[in-house]
Amino acid sequence: MDKMSLLALILVSLPEVLLVTMLGFQLAGLKIMPLQLIITGIAQTAFSYYIRLSSIPFGLHSLVQMAIYVVILRVVTGISLRRVTIIALLGLVVFATLEAAVVPPLLNSTGYSLQDIFVRDDVRIGLFLPEAVVILIFIVACRRYNFHLLDFASELKDRAPEDGIGKMAEKACLNLYILVLLPVLLLAVVNMVLFVSRTGALPDIYFHLFAATFSMILVAITVLSMGSLRKISFLKEKEFEARKAGETIAHLDKLIRTIRKQRHDFNHHLQAVYGLLEVGSCDKARDYIKQMFLDISNPAEVVKTDNPGISAMLFAKAGQAEARGISFSVLVDCSLRGVSLSTMEANSLLGNLLDNAIEAAAAYTGAHRSVRLEITREPGEYIFTVANTGDPIPLETRDRMYEPHFSTKKSNRGLGMAIIKEIVDKYSGRIAIDHAEGETIFSVHLSDKGAGR
């Protein structure tokens, strides 16, 4: 094994640990206290010395030192294990990659062999200096321009109490960082081991042992990757649900504001009716009350589903259409309890379809502007039909309308149709588009819960 002298430990191993630690913390957006840095450097150097004295094969000793380095950082700094692992990997990846790229050319250009590094301190120190200078310049430049790859400082400072989903999201994110950095570091180590094996400086048995260990590590990384992918998929579903919940809350907020507005206006209406009755204008009072009833009952007529969340959304859309002078009608001739969609998904689907229909009807220059919604149930499926008066959708627009961020309006983010398509595809449904009798008609067909889903 490679046994280092006390001089080499002080002038190579200790500065190496200090540089790697400073680099890792800089790239993670954190600062390490000088005392913590010194303790980490001394502890890691001491462990490195005894590991090099042991019979651990070349290459494997690097992996053992990495594991010990992470534990030392965890104990000295008190930062969570996942975060210090990422910090260590950030510094080690850059340093190991630089070493793998610099050492072989330096040996070839100077004429020294790898065996010379093992037995001569002057050669070891001389080859380390260029690496140290480059890393030091890089660290100074990063600090000068406040460059970092991650921002752990802000995350730790602004962290709020998290629920189970929040903690799972944080762990999945940190695990993903580790799974990205770890293979890069292992590749750098493998590259160095291959270089050493070609020089013949060490017995072949070392290389074979490293290859066997590396295979086990690869299996472990694969298993961890599968677990992380499952968590990421789960979190994506939760994000989707949260987005739909936000849309439902927005619809309920519009409903509440509409009710508050009506309640505020009732005082004025009652005063007007009372005044008409006081002056004996009973007929005018009757007509006034009749008009009030029609104004209130028209949008209220759409709230006739057996799903309160969907009813609230439809009430809000009716108010939007009414405010823009658009006739809005709803026909629901079936129960919505058998719909495969959750309430949030149903509101997202219908809400985006109705928003597009209201926008199109508002832009229509014809005399009659209307939007209608029909929800019907056929054997094995529900059919959601949204129609609006307006011009036909051009064929070139139909081909791209489901692309994220595609929109014919500059002020529109172009996500509505993409969200609709995402929901429909999730439940293996289909969308049909037609134009008949001056109306653009969107029909969404989805299987019900009793259709073998």
Q: What is the pLDDT of residues 164-173, one digit of tens each?
A: 556 766 776 7
- Quickly count: other Cβ atoms within 10 Å of residue 42's Cβ: 14
Q: Give the lowest-confidence range in 91-100, 238-247, 264-273, 415-424.
A: 238-247
Task: Count the alpha carbons within 13 Å of 304 in the hemisphere toward its beta carbon.
Answer: 15
Instruction: Tell me the pLDDT band of 247, cut-offs 50, 70 and 90.
Output: low
Give the chain's length.
453
Give the neighbor-by-neighbor strand order of the sheet with 327-332: 327-332, 370-378, 381-389, 439-447, 430-436
Instruction: Tell me the pLDDT band of 452, cut-offs 50, 70 and 90.
Output: very low
Residue-wise pLDDT tens digits, 3-15:
677 787 888 889 9
Strand 370-378 and strand 381-389: pairing? Answer: antiparallel
Residue-wise pLDDT tens digits, 316-341:
788 788 778 888 888 888 888 888 88
Please state the rounded mean pLDDT for residues 379-383. Answer: 89
Q: How far apart are CA 30 and CA 51, in angstroms?
A: 29
What are residue 105's phi and psi, to 5 degrees?
Answer: -65, -35
What are residue 410's phi and psi, to 5 degrees?
Answer: -65, -30
Q: How far apart are CA 147 and CA 131, in angstroms?
A: 20
DSSP states of 210-277: HHHHHHHHHHHHHHHHHHHHHHHHHHHHHHHHHHHHHHHHHHHHHHHHHHHHHHHHHHHHHHHHHHHH
Q: What's CA 441's distance to the chain center, in Å?
A: 34
Instruction: Tell me the pLDDT band of 84, cut-offs 50, 70 and 90.
Output: very high
What is the architecture, at CATH level 2, of domain 244-447?
Answer: 2-Layer Sandwich (3.30)
Contact in structure between 23 and 96 (CB atoms under 8 Å): no
Strand 381-389 and strand 327-332: pairing? Answer: unpaired
Please state the rounded mean pLDDT for residues 195-204. Answer: 64
452 CB-contact burial (10 Å; exposed 0-12 / middle 13-18 / buried 19+): exposed
Task: Count the alpha carbons within 13 Å of 77 in the hemisphere toward its beta carbon.
Answer: 27
Instruction: Tell me the pLDDT band of 391, cut-offs 50, 70 and 90.
Output: confident
In terms of average pLDDT, the best of 123-137, 262-276, 403-417 is 123-137
Residue-wise pLDDT tens digits, 105-120:
777 787 777 677 767 8
Strand 381-389 and strand 439-447: pairing? Answer: antiparallel
Domain boundaries, the chain: 6-202, 244-447
User: Would you call 407 helix, strand, or coil by DSSP?
Assistant: coil
Please state the rounded mean pLDDT for residues 193-220. Answer: 68
Q: Please provide the average confidence, as pLDDT, over all residues in the chain.
A: 79
Residue-wise pLDDT tens digits, 127-144:
888 888 888 998 999 889
Residue type, 41: G
Helices (H) and strands (E) in the chain, counts: 15, 5
Give 82's contacts (C-beta < 8 A, 6+ positions apart).
171, 174, 175, 178
Angstrom CA distances, 45 to 14, 77, 123, 231, stand at 6, 17, 19, 37
Q: How far apart are CA 49 and CA 158, in angstroms?
A: 40
pLDDT of residue 107: 75
